[in-house]
Amino acid sequence: MEYVVGVVLALGISSFATLVGLDRDRVFYPTVMIVIASYYGLFAVMGGSFHSLVLELVGIAIFLSAALIGFKSTLWWVVGALAAHGVFDWFHARLITDPWRSVMVADVLPDVRPRGSGISLLASGLLEGGGQL
């Protein structure tokens, strides 16, 4: 079920952005990538874990760099970053422990968020790659 939710969200959001013309400018998807990556820092701060924040900053820096390189050169970097972000989300809990994120995932979205978000981002990357690059 979580995979269906992820794919439907990716299709819906990408279609909406295309329909209203948000993705006409090459700045749209790099900005989306930067905002998505910044949530890792938000979750670490909300969990009150300085150690998690430092580890999250490494991931943020990688995804921010990919977004900036993609903006300056070819958007395929951003496609790769969106897809890599979806894959990273699958393994995130094994690599970095965020106390608040663990509670949020367990209490609010018991089974959907980790895999659903990952598949949604992976599908977004694939959709963008197959789109108007």
> What is the full per-residue pLDDT of the chain (133 aa) written as tens digits?
767 787 788 888 888 988 999 888 899 999 999 998 998 888 888 888 888 899 999 999 999 999 999 999 999 999 999 889 888 887 877 788 767 655 555 444 444 444 455 555 555 555 555 555 5
User: SS3 of 33, please?
Assistant: helix
Please indicate, yes or no, whether the overall pTM of this predicted structure exceeds 0.85. Answer: no
Rounded CA separation 51/9 (Å): 32
- Reported in sequence order, the residue ranges of 10-131 that DSSP labels E, i.e. its strands, are none
For residue 72, the Cα-to-chain-centroid distance in whole angstroms is 20
Domain extent at residue 108: 2-130
- Domain count for the chain: 1
